[in-house]
Amino acid sequence: SYPSLLLAIIIAAILGPSMTNTIITIALVCTPPFIRLTRATAMVELQREYFVASQVMGAGVLRLLFVTILPNCMAPLIVQATMIFSSAILEAGAIGFLGFGVQPPDAEWGAMLGTARQYIQSNVWLAIWPGVAIFLAALSINLTGDGLRDALDPKLKQVI
């Protein structure tokens, strides 16, 4: 029930600053939405007629899972992955900006913004370019996710 950014900051503060700990933090924060979506989609698919028909025909549990249910859960999961990926970029940037993420000399946009803070009066470009890079990366991934949602959601397709 915690906001994802707050949870990411707490986990990063506990684990300490490093590249590995940043990856672990982002993975832990981004996992619950996938679990919730997979469960909800699977619960809907379990009520469909083709699943009941597969059960009646004697399909095994693994076949039901990997052939019947999981392929029909993939479209929402792919869209969710693109949406979560952009928020992961923002969270990694925030963690790096606060000093809990990747440490210099390794390059990370949030750490670059944090370092540029002290030079903002004399050289504003040190802060602008990493900020623009974070913005463009998150925006492009969000737009890709919107396009994938439009392409993969059968409810949005209109019959002409």
Q: What's 136's domain CATH number?
A: 1.10.3720.10
Q: Is residue 104 included in any domain, yes or no?
A: yes
Q: Is residue 159 included in any domain, yes or no?
A: no
Q: Is residue 160 included in any domain, yes or no?
A: no
At 78, phi and psi to the nearest 5? Answer: -65, -45
Domain count, the chain: 1
Q: Is residue 25 included in any domain, yes or no?
A: yes
12 alpha carbon, distance to own chain's centre: 17
E-strand stretches of 58-113 = none
Gap between the Cα atoms of 141 and 89, Å rounded: 10
| pLDDT reported for residue 139 | 92
Domain that residue 93 falls in: 4-152
| pLDDT reported for residue 155 | 61
Q: Is residue 36 included in any domain, yes or no?
A: yes
| pLDDT reported for residue 156 | 60
What is the mean pLDDT of each successive set of 10 residues along the chain, which is 160 residues long? Answer: 85 90 92 91 88 86 84 84 89 89 84 86 87 92 84 64
Q: Is residue 158 included in any domain, yes or no?
A: no
